[in-house]
């Protein structure tokens, strides 16, 4: 190991030892639970300072490597977007929450007549090491994860402070927004690249397996500023309409039609329209090699926007003859309860009896009998309301053959996507007083989808590497669904 860096490490260790020695007497006098808790917290704080000092020494040594610096600068300049222009003094905050200063190469952006505003420059060595927005990659990872996992931004900041990371509110918000929006931009570029490219060559890990795709929509309120209108306070007023974020879940099933625990599902969501979601779904399935699967099962409720698009995705994958479409059984039963509730003259016992009787027909796959039962009660003033629900069953006869599904050990419900909507959307983005700008909601949906599915580390690695295409290209955008043994 280089002598110069070991001297810095030794100095940092000496400072750590001195700090511990200065606190040792009061620590040894700790005789209560609160006192010993303070011992642990204080010791970990000093250890974080030591870890950051060593990380800073390693980074400083890396910046002194002229060959590495030259390679990074040359690769960035070769893109034609940047030009050489000396160095710059920059502060970097590390995982322990401490900040250190460094001098590194800086490349301003090449001026282009199409851009009126000056474009941001680049710190090529920092970018090559994953350091963006004056933040180390480990700290950016931790901040984005905690804020995405918490119930709100302030809850995430409180959690970070308990870990010794005390960033300002605005800096935390800026970091999460930049991280999430870059991930979304990379996803958009990847979707276009996959759909424009050839099918995945070679043998897919999903060859011969049954893949289940579940799709559903959630709800959140979007913040849309009103143009030109200002309140007396000087702030712009805004509309807050309800919007429908769309969630997809891709799962591998075992021989009994249950999720195979050897595979981790893929979650993703978007606030875009239905076409955007299905293009994204198509890209995921194509990248996974789903065309080599034995069966492709689509499960959803009776929403027309879903079922109108399923055939063209299956056709694009060459899986039209291997596709099974299923309307979620619980949603169908819920629709029967809605119809029974429209019969105002019925008692609760009559409604329950009718639903139980018709549900038996539904369970047995006799959809014609279900339709006939609905028509029987569609009389008088309630006829128009009840008949408006009739297409839910008459248009989905082939998707409600539940006995056939049970015989083939295929799923009848979409509980996994309902769970995903609750965990990804409802517990973070849908609550009283929350109004989201479109780009912020889109970023948070993407982050939470990967976090709750168990693919967070892959998202971070992919986002950092794709941010520097001038150094290396990353083809494994889709995470490996196989669980680590």
Under 8 Å between Cβ of 95 and 138: yes
CA distance 197 to 469: 18
In this prediction, residues 256-281 reach a mean pLDDT of: 95
pLDDT at res. 270: 97
Long-range contacts of 471-476 (CB under 8 A, 24+ apart): 471/72, 471/75, 471/128
Under 8 Å between Cβ of 247 and 420: yes
Render pLDDT for 310-323 as a digit per residue (tens, 0 to 9). Answer: 999 999 999 999 99
CA distance 305 to 343: 28
Give the pLDDT band (50/70/90) at residue 234.
low
| pLDDT surpasses 60 at 472 | yes
Residues facing 135 on adjacent strands = 93, 132
CA distance 144 to 50: 23
Give the pLDDT band (50/70/90) at residue 479.
confident
CA distance 466 to 485: 28
| pLDDT surpasses 70 at 120 | yes
Render pLDDT for 43-66 as a digit per residue (tens, 0 to 9). Answer: 999 999 999 999 999 999 999 999
Q: What is the mean pLDDT of the chain?
A: 92
Residues with Cβ < 8 Å from 73, sequence gap 6 or more? 84, 105, 107, 124, 125
Give the pLDDT band (50/70/90) at residue 480.
confident
In this prediction, residues 119-126 reach a mean pLDDT of: 91
In this prediction, residues 326-348 reach a mean pLDDT of: 94
Beta-strand relationship, 295-300 and 323-327 = parallel
pLDDT at res. 266: 96
Total Cβ atoms within 10 A of residue 72: 25
Axis crossing angle, helix 438-453 with helix 169-196, rounded to the nearest 10 = 80
Under 8 Å between Cβ of 449 and 218: no
pLDDT at res. 5: 86
Give the pLDDT band (50/70/90) at residue 187.
very high
Considering only residues 480 and 378, tell me which one the structure prediction assigns the higher pLDDT.
Answer: 378
- Whole-Å CA distances, 71 to 74, 78, 205, 246: 5, 11, 37, 43
In the block, residue with structure tokens 């539904």: 362
Taking Cα atoms as reference points, which of 337, 324, 481 lies closest to residue 411?
324
Lowest mean pLDDT among 93-102, 164-173, 220-229, 376-385: 220-229
Output the six-digit token pair for 302: 């009776």
Give the domain ranges of the chain: 330-400
Q: What percent of the chain has pLDDT over 70?
A: 95
In this prediction, residues 417-425 reach a mean pLDDT of: 96
Its pTM stands at 0.92
């Amino acid at each position: 190991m280089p002598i110069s860096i070991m001297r810095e490490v030794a100095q940092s260790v000496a400072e750590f030892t001195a700090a511990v020695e200065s606190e040792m007497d009061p620590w040894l006098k700790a005789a209560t639970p609160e006192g010993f808790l303070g011992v642990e917290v204080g010791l970990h704080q000093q250890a974080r300072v030591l870890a950051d000092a060593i990380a800073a020494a390693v980074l400083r040594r890396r910046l002194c490597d002229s060959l590495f610096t030259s390679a990074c600068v040359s690769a960035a300049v070769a893109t034609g977007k940047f030009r050489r222009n000396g160095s710059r003094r920059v502060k970097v905050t590390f995982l322990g929450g401490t900040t250190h200063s460094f001098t590194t190469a800086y490349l301003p952006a090449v001026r282009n007549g199409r851009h009126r505003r000056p474009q941001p420059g680049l710190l090529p060595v920092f970018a090559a090491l994953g350091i963006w927005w004056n933040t180390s990659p480990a700290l950016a990872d931790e901040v984005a994860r905690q804020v995405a996992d918490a119930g709100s931004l302030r809850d995430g900041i409180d959690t970070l402070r308990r870990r010794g990371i005390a960033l300002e509110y605005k800096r935390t918000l800026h970091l999460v927004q930049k991280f999430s929006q870059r991930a979304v931009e990379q996803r958009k570029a990847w979707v276009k690249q996959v759909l424009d490219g050839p099918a995945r060559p070679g043998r897919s890990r999903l060859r011969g397996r049954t893949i289940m795709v579940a799709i559903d929509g959630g709800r959140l309120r979007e913040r849309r500023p009103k143009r030109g209108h200002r309140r007396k306070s000087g702030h712009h007023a805004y509309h807050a309409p309800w919007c429908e974020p769309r969630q997809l879940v891709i799962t591998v099933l075992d021989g009994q039609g249950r999720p195979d625990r050897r595979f981790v599902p893929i979650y993703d969501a978007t606030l875009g329209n239905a076409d955007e979601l299905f293009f994204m779904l198509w890209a995921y399935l194509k990248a996974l090699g789903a065309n080599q699967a034995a069966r492709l099962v689509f499960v959803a409720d009776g929403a027309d926007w879903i079922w109108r698009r399923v055939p063209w995705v299956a056709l694009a994958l060459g899986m039209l003859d291997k596709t099974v479409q299923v309307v979620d059984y619980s949603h169908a039963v819920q629709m029967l309860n809605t119809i029974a509730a429209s019969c105002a003259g019925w008692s609760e016992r009559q409604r329950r009896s009718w639903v139980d009787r018709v549900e038996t027909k539904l369970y047995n796959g006799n959809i014609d009998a279900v339709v006939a039962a609905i028509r029987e009660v569609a009389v008088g003033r309630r006829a128009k309301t009840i008949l408006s629900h009739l297409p839910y069953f008459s248009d989905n006869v082939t998707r409600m053959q539940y006995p056939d599904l049970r015989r083939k050990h295929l799923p009848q419900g979409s509980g996994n996507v309902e769970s995903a909507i609750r965990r990804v959307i409802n517990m973070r983005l849908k609550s009283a007083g929350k109004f989201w700008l479109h780009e912020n909601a889109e970023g948070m949906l993407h982050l939470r989808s990967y976090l709750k599915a168990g693919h967070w580390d892959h998202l971070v690695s992919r986002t950092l590497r794709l941010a520097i295409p001038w150094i290396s290209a990353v083809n494994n955008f889709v995470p490996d669904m196989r669980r680590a043994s």
